[in-house]
Structure 1
Amino acid sequence: MNLQSPYLIAEMTQEIFTCNEDLVLESGGTLPGFQISYTTQGHLTPKKDNVIWVLHALTGDANAQQWWSGLVGEDKFFDPSKHFIVCANFLGSCYGSTQPLSENPKTGKPYYYDFPNLTTRDIAASLDRLRKHLGIEQIDTVIGGSLGGQVALEWAYTLGERLKNAIIVASNAKASPWIIGFNETQRMAIETDQTWGVRHPDAGKKGLETARAIGMLSYRHPQTFLQNQCETEEKLDNYKISSYLRYQGLKLANRFNALSYWVLSKAMDSHDIGRGRGGAENALFQIKARVLAIGVDTDVLFTSEESRFISHQVPKGTYKEIRSIYGHDAFLIEYEQMNYILKSFYLEGNG
């Protein structure tokens, strides 16, 4: 990556890519055409060697500069004055891409519960359609955390020589029973909502509040709650942590929908880089890119051991660790450590 090229900063543009070709899914079904909402910022170099593709987590969107503000943006590590930055909203998500509330072309009505199951491999395949649409032959870096890291790893496998660097943050090569279990309890919470099953955009909204509260417990480490939600007075009820989790649940339910949450959590469960490829070790060994796997020492959802496994199995792997009390969410918080780790990785690559 050329970190010195002086290019004028372009305003971030948000666009819709419409693919009229069917997307054949791993399940054997098809998605009859789809849309992907995406953003771009910056300019391609004459050699077109400065593409940075950012992949979001479960409830993220295409505006990486907002949710990863410590890494993406003017004067940040991934700077649009030097890089051409792309971020696309995943299929199934409710921020402009085709999702359960989109119109099913076969019926003329929203999909709702008829939306097909997606896997991380399907999401990566849809991103590759967008890559080809944009005329991008080579990608310098694909970077993603959590679900975004799972999709990034899948895409790194299929991109082969077209990808130089893959940065997999707080993620894994295969969804563990622990992660699937957490996701299942969240879907069970959605199912208890009496509106679940109704064909309405707000179906499952109260259940989603509970699901998010459950999720928050896995995104952080107990030490985080001891520091931020510990009581300073003796109480028998109305605890800080109770208010915090209810607030977080309501906050998500007001910006997301239960159907998208269901689809994307299922996609996370499906992740297995080795499926049909001779196992995870064999599949990881086929990845051509330099791979930086970043773990978090206190991550109880995507453990640091899972990140180490990725770095040990790929031919050109590096492992680095974030030390933090914030658990899984540390990759969205500990910007100083992230910047140091990334700088070291690129310096090693240019050495």
Structure 2
Amino acid sequence: MQAEFRHYHYPHTFVLESGTSLPEIDLAYQTWGQMNAAGDNVIWICHAFTGSQDVADWWQGLVGPGKLFNPENNFIVCANILGSHYGSTGPLSTNPQTGEPYFHAFPDVTIRDVVNAFELLRQDLGIHTIKTCIGGSMGGQQAVEWGIINPDLIQNLILVATNAVHSPWGVAFNESQRMAIELDKTWGESHPKAGIDGMKAARATALISYRNYETYQITQARQDHSLEKTLRAVSYQRYQGEKLAQRFNAFSYYILSNMMDSQDVGRNRGGIIPALKQIKSNTLVIGIKSDALFPIVEQEFLAKHIPGASFQVIDSLYGHDGFLIESGLMTKAIRLWQKLQLLEVNPMAEFFRELERL
């Protein structure tokens, strides 16, 4: 069973939260598996900052045959967000009004705009119920926003290493990255590689927030006391910048960093807490104990104010990136929550399951 890469075109004006608009939008997306006759087996996965619709690539520990999210009995959807690099309308796309790429003219897009675009795609696919919507980091920001925009749509909402409003701490990290891009002498130019060296420095800055002190102490420890060799942490930072430059562009990086900063579910809704209380989904919030970028207090806040939400903590060496790396711990946490839900709905179900095992 192979995943299918698809393309959705919305040929009408798409009005953004800021009041500006895009003359039309495209969403590149991937589906895996088949929607059943009841339409109740949809898994929608929201990707993070520089992720793509190819969820089996960046979350292969959770998605695939025999995995937690199995395309053999689920219809899995992941869409590339507006402003990104992987086929959806973004800064390198052609503006149909000018016939030229947007580049610096691409407007700011918010998390709420992304979810409104998802709503158009969902309707086009004939999806009326999402069994499970899951996202980590900026993907989690999308998922929680969707749970508020359309409270009756998502049955099960899983929010991982994310928040209801982006913190001043997170904004400061993002602004530092944007400053690095702005200092690139090519950033003012209009071509796909403009600002690319600045983006490499930005990515190196980001990696510090994605991991933590203990991560670097173990994975990038000094190998000897010589001054003649490049320190591992130095080569690692440069490698990560070069690696991203092979697959991304500075325009999208800049736009998406601003998008993350836009996260505030309370905007025009009477505040953060009233907004979260609109969520009707069965909700699991997962925090990572060592997360420096989205500290665990932010997930505690979500769990406290989303009605009936459950909260679990993953103890990982890898900081914020633990949501991508710790597939086993993630699977265990989600399956435990699913089991507890089953017991709440039907306490005898697990009893009979145990009888079948005997």
2:152 alignment partner, SS class? helix
1:171-186 equivalence runs, <5 A: 171-186=162-177
Match for 2:57 among 39, 52, 66? Answer: 66
1:127 alignment partner, SS class? helix
Query: Which residue does 2:297 correspond to in 1?
Result: 305
How far has the Cα of 1:349 moved from its partner?
2.1
* Superimposed CA distance per residue, residues 70-117 of structure 1 (whole angstroms, 9 cap, x where no aligned partner): 100011000001110000000100101100010111111010001010
2:150 alignment partner, SS class? helix
TM-score by length of 2: 0.94
- Letter paired with 1:346: Q
Is 1:326 equivalent to 2:326 in the alignment?
Answer: no
Match for 1:48 among 33, 39, 58? Answer: 39
Match for 2:24 among 21, 25, 33? Answer: 33
Is 1:126 equivalent to 2:108 in the alignment?
Answer: no
Q: Distance in 2 between matches of 1:48 and 1:345?
A: 23
Query: Which residue does 1:277 correspond to in 2?
Result: 269
Q: Distance in 1 between matches of 2:308 and 2:101?
A: 44
1:95 alignment partner, SS class? coil
How far has the Cα of 1:345 moved from its partner?
1.4
Q: Distance in 2 between matches of 1:140 and 1:108?
A: 40
TM-score by length of 1: 0.96
Q: Distance in 1 between matches of 2:224 and 2:2?
A: 49
Q: Distance in 2 between matches of 1:196 and 1:262?
A: 11
- Letter paired with 1:194: K
- Letter paired with 1:226: Q
Q: Tell me, which stretches of 5 or more residues in structure 1 are unaligned?
A: 1-9
How far has the Cα of 1:316 moved from its partner?
2.1
Q: Distance in 1 between matches of 2:264 and 2:14?
A: 20
How far has the Cα of 1:43 moved from its partner?
1.3
Q: How many aligned positions are there?
A: 342
Q: Distance in 2 between matches of 1:235 and 1:305?
A: 41
2:299 alignment partner, SS class? helix
Match for 2:256 among 253, 264, 269? Answer: 264
Query: Which residue does 2:352 correspond to in 1?
Result: none
1:97-112 equivalence runs, <5 A: 97-112=88-103
- Letter paired with 1:281: I
Q: Distance in 1 between matches of 2:99 and 2:37?
A: 44
Q: Distance in 1 between matches of 2:115 and 2:340?
A: 28
Query: Which residue does 2:198 correspond to in 1?
Result: 207
How far has the Cα of 1:32 moved from its partner?
1.2
- Letter paired with 1:216: L
Q: Distance in 2 between matches of 1:347 and 1:32?
A: 46
- Letter paired with 2:135: G
- Letter paired with 2:101: P
Higher CA-based Rg: 2
Is 1:296 equivalent to 2:288 in the alignment?
Answer: yes
Query: Which residue does 2:231 correspond to in 1?
Result: 239
How far has the Cα of 1:235 moved from its partner?
3.2
Q: Distance in 2 between matches of 1:348 and 1:24?
A: 41
1:85 alignment partner, SS class? strand
Query: Which residue does 2:7 correspond to in 1?
Result: 16
How far has the Cα of 1:232 moved from its partner?
2.3
Q: Distance in 1 between matches of 2:308 and 2:13?
A: 35
1:66-215 equivalence runs, <5 A: 66-215=57-206
Q: Distance in 2 between matches of 1:158 and 1:347?
A: 28
Q: Distance in 1 between matches of 2:36 and 2:5?
A: 20
Q: Distance in 2 between matches of 1:191 and 1:332?
A: 29
Q: Distance in 2 between matches of 1:217 and 1:263?
A: 20
* Superimposed CA distance per residue, residues 277-315 of structure 1 (whole angstroms, 9 cap, x where no aligned partner): 111111000111111111000000001110111011011
Is 1:341 equivalent to 2:324 in the alignment?
Answer: no
* Superimposed CA distance per residue, residues 216-257 of structure 1 (whole angstroms, 9 cap, x where no aligned partner): 000001111110111121133621100000000010011100
How far has the Cα of 1:350 moved from its partner?
2.2
Q: Distance in 2 between matches of 1:171 and 1:334?
A: 16
How far has the Cα of 1:44 moved from its partner?
1.4
* Superimposed CA distance per residue, residues 20-49 of structure 1 (whole angstroms, 9 cap, x where no aligned partner): 122111111111111000000111122111
How far has the Cα of 1:169 moved from its partner?
0.6
RMSD: 0.9
Q: Distance in 2 between matches of 1:23 and 1:290?
A: 31
Q: Which moved more, 1:211-220 or 1:224-233?
A: 224-233
- Letter paired with 1:78: F
Q: Distance in 1 between matches of 2:246 and 2:32?
A: 28
Q: Distance in 1 between matches of 2:126 and 2:321?
A: 34
